[in-house]
Structure 1
Amino acid sequence: MQVWKLYKLEGDKVTRLRRECPRCGRGYFMAEHKNRLSCGNCG
């Protein structure tokens, strides 16, 4: 996954485009499927 797909730059602010996993914490993002979210690390 490219980093530019996970973050958005707005001027001098950086916003995350995907949710982070509540179990794994910072840096692990949830994959968006049609009917669910799935963590890239813990599944």
Structure 2
Amino acid sequence: MKRAGDLELAKRNPKPKAKRPSPQVWKFYNVEGSRAKRLRKVCPRCGRGVFMADHSDRFACGKCGFTEFKRESATASLP
């Protein structure tokens, strides 16, 4: 049984809509002619379609947590 107050309350307080992530996948590809080149490294655990974040000292996957550290170059270690 519905009351008149319930209907008024429903009109005043609508359900919040779920926020969807913006489609910014174009940031991870470079399109040249008819070919697309990946700009980020792909996660070896998750497979294609999951890119790894590029930090200053490591690559990290936000989905599974896999981390791969970058190697220092040989010239950087020399005095």
Greater helix share, 1 or 2? 2
Q: How does 1:1-43 map to 2 (within 5 A)?
A: 2-43=24-65
Q: How many residues are aligned here?
A: 43
- Separation in structure 1 between the aligned mates of residue 24 and residue 52 of structure 2, nearest angstrom: 14
User: Structure 2 CA distance, aligned partners of 1:40 and 1:15?
Assistant: 21
Greater share of strand residues, 1 or 2?
Answer: 1
Q: Which amino acid letter does the alignment assign opposite residue 2 of structure 1?
A: Q
Residue 40 of structure 1 deviates from its aligned partner by 2.0
Whichever of the two has the greater Rg, that structure is 2
Q: Distance in 2 between matches of 1:40 and 1:9?
A: 24
Taking only the aligned residue pairs, the percentage that are identical comes to 60
Q: Which one has more relative contact order, counting CA pairs under 8 Å at least 6 apart?
A: 1
How well do the aligned residues superpose, as a CA RMSD in angstroms?
1.2
Unpaired runs of 5+ in structure 2?
1-22, 66-79
Deviation above 3 Å: which 4+ runs of structure 1?
A: none
Name the TM-score, length of structure 2 as normaliser: 0.51
In structure 1, list runs of 5 or more residues that go unmatched.
none
